[in-house]
Structure 1
């Protein structure tokens, strides 16, 4: 019984066992009662083995391709926690946990295939997807099958705010909050008055850019001197770089991911443009610094608040280094927290039933590397937010305030 109540099954099973034990002596009832109890026993025989089946936790996201550095940390977070609960607690809710992974390379068409495959494999819960476009493409498939999905990184506001995906939760704040922070930083901290806004035309990048443009225009403090979409995967962005230069922009706010951001920044700096570059958590990744090299210096990017001193974050970091021999990557703590939240919800509700898990996620607090969290009615994690970071001496450093 994948979506039923484990506690209910145990209770029915106990009645059946008592009846079976007494059946030889007393028949466990007479006439119609005997027929009814035989039917109950038949149902328990069918249902109890399902209740004892392993709990299947899926992790879906970019495990290959340019954006694998965003997806692999989520797989690792799940691997660590699955091994831990199986070894120390015998699983979750009395069920051993099995991990299933599917790669979508952050592409919507691959995400629908991955989601369909996971549904066919009868998974109970999903951590993912990673990119907003891929997440949106998969969510309807999970919703139709009554499966909860919780993302560590999909920030598009509509995923929670539209009400279209009641089965979706996330352990990261949404892009409207991220765009607001970027705009406030550009206006109030840097004192900029002419800003170019770029995006990669995707659900994530374009969504963030639209909010940034809206907030800039509403502020009355700055002019949006260029608003433009670029084509992802391009090798040469000299045309848009030239437009930035001609616009007189003091800064660029870019919505998108690190492959495109690194190329734009490199081409700007090679043309001796000192235009400030401000971006998002899709760029706040060490891969951006590795690719852009010295040209990355001084770039600003928003990303999840630094909670690395949280005791649970310290423990998560230690476990990662012990298992993989290196520092964790982007969204690892968010994914670690997502898995903890799901396990806590199953444990507290005694079920993998959609309604039961949803209610537990919204009403039961859980201690995570991000803090003690639960989720609001829309599925957003309460108390989770963004900070501004800057590349300083080859590393992203969180700025105060």
Structure 2
């Protein structure tokens, strides 16, 4: 009987303990708000992936120092999309599995489009700081898809305006790698140049990835042109530049933003000198940018446009998450009133485009590129 009483008293104490524990409310730790970072973290476009990652991480660190989002800390998780469509969709699903509330990244439209569809279906906010192809927003893949990069269809117009000012009455060759981006850019620039009375000597495609473009260079030489406009990635542009100069041709070399990558300069060597290309340019002189510039100095990073647009995209994402209960509300906030960022007030149009950047010509001089004056 005593043994029974001991057992019963033990059970009673256990029940009492359970009752007390269930009556006392637990103070649960809040889960972090996760923001995904996506981009090419290796290979030919690693410069861009590095800059996207740096811009996001600095913005998140600043936000956390101010209390995060409603007291919840923000953390990041990054993935390498390799600038490929299949990989883009795969890593988008990986990020969803890690519970991301927003994604900043995807520089290449090939990866951004399929990834954007994944985010749209899941109701996750997506802002690209670098994908320029109009398709990203023109195809309306989701209400929560936004871009801080300038649309590439404005680049062709910038090239045509430069040609009109600098090569009026002179013959110009237009060559491209057959890609959606390269061909579209070159054909748009050629048409606009011709519409303004410019002399289009030739429009020619070439096979990308070749170690030599001897046949193409022969056609350029025969056309006796004063300038060559290239719609090509950095490695192919370097081959063309090197062979143009090797033949002693003094035609001006004009390209797209891929010529800004360090790989182009490394591969082209001296042939890169004087090459002109167009970069989307944002205003980095605003007072709001001071802390970002200091952080970049600490990290020994150049203040590139991609870092600035990635930082601003992250600020916009954080503001949207703080002001919206779901994706439609977050998207509505970004369209109006918009978010305060290092680039000033960022507001997106109905498609999801931001129009705060312009294309500015740059030129390689003495081992570095500088704005063309």
1:361 aligns with 2:361: no
How far 1:314 moved relative to its partner? 4.0
The offset of 1:59, in angstroms, is: 0.9
Shift of residue 274, structure 1, vs aligned partner = 1.4
- Of the three residues 196, 204, 220, the one matched with 1:219 is 196
The alpha carbon displacement at 1:259 in A equals 2.4
Separation in 2, partners of 1:113, 1:192: 50
Equivalences for residues 233-244 of structure 1 within 5 A = 233-244=209-220
Kindly indicate whether residue 35 of structure 2 is the aligned counterpart of residue 62 of structure 1: no
Instruction: Say if 1:161 and 1:277 are closer, same or farther in 2 by CA, change over 3 A.
Output: same
In structure 1, distance between residues paired with 2:306 and 2:105: 11
- RMSD value over aligned CA atoms? 2.5
SS in 2 for 1:179: helix
Tell whether 2:241 aligns with 1:265: yes
Partner of 1:311: 287
Q: Which has the larger radius of gyration?
A: 2
> With structure 1 as the length reference, what TM-score do the two structures score?
0.80
Aligned-residue offset at 1:285: 3.1
Residue of 245, 254, 274 corresponding to 1:278: 254
Correspondence for 1:252 among 228, 236, 241: 228
The answer to whether the 8 A contact 1:306-1:398 is kept is: no
Deviation digits for residues 107-161 of structure 1 (CA, Å, limit 9, x no counterpart): 2222121112222222111112111222123221122112221111111112222
SS at match of 1:282: helix
Write the deviation string for residues 154-177 of structure 1: whole angstroms up to 9, x where unpaired: 111122223344332111211111
Name the CA distance, whole Å, in 1 between partners of 2:155 and 2:53: 25
Deviation, structure 1 residue 65: 0.6
In the alignment, which residue of structure 2 is the partner of 1:321? 297
User: Structure 1: how far apart are the matches of 2:110 and 2:357?
Assistant: 21
The corresponding residue for 1:100 is 77
Distance in 2 between residues matched to 1:279 and 1:369, nearest whole Å? 29
Partner of 2:162: 185
C-alpha separation between the residues in 1 aligned to 2:185 and 2:313? Answer: 23
1:166-206 deviation per Cα after TM superposition (whole angstroms, max 9, x unaligned): 33211121111111001110122332542222233333323
Q: Distance in 1 between matches of 2:140 and 2:336?
A: 19
Distance in 2 (CA, whole Å) between partners of 1:124 and 1:116 is 13
CA contact (8 A) 2:201 2:223 kept: no
Look up the match of 2:9. none
Displacement after TM superposition at 1:350 (Å)? 4.2
Residue 347 of structure 2 corresponds to residue 374 of structure 1: yes
1:328 Cα deviation after fit: 4.2
Q: Residues 161, 208 of structure 1: CA spacing in aligned structure 2 closer, same or farther, 3 A cutoff?
A: same
**How many residues of Structure 1 are paired with residues of Structure 2 in the alignment?**
350
Report Cα offsets for 1:211-243 as digits up to 9, x if no partner. Answer: 223323433322251231432x33222332222
Q: Structure 1 residues 306, 139: closer, same or farther in 2, change over 3 A?
A: closer
TM-score (structure 2 length as normaliser):
0.85
* Partners of 1:211 and 1:55 in 2: CA distance: 43
Structure 1 residues 75 and 380: CA distance shift in structure 2, 3 A:
same
User: Where does structure 2 lack aligned partners over 5 or more consecutive residues?
Assistant: 1-22
The answer on whether the counterparts of 2:282 and 2:358 sit within 8 Å (CA) in structure 1 is: no
**Cα distance 1:221–1:213, how it changes in 2: closer, same or farther (>3 A)?**
closer
Q: Which residue of 1 aligns with 2:103?
A: 126
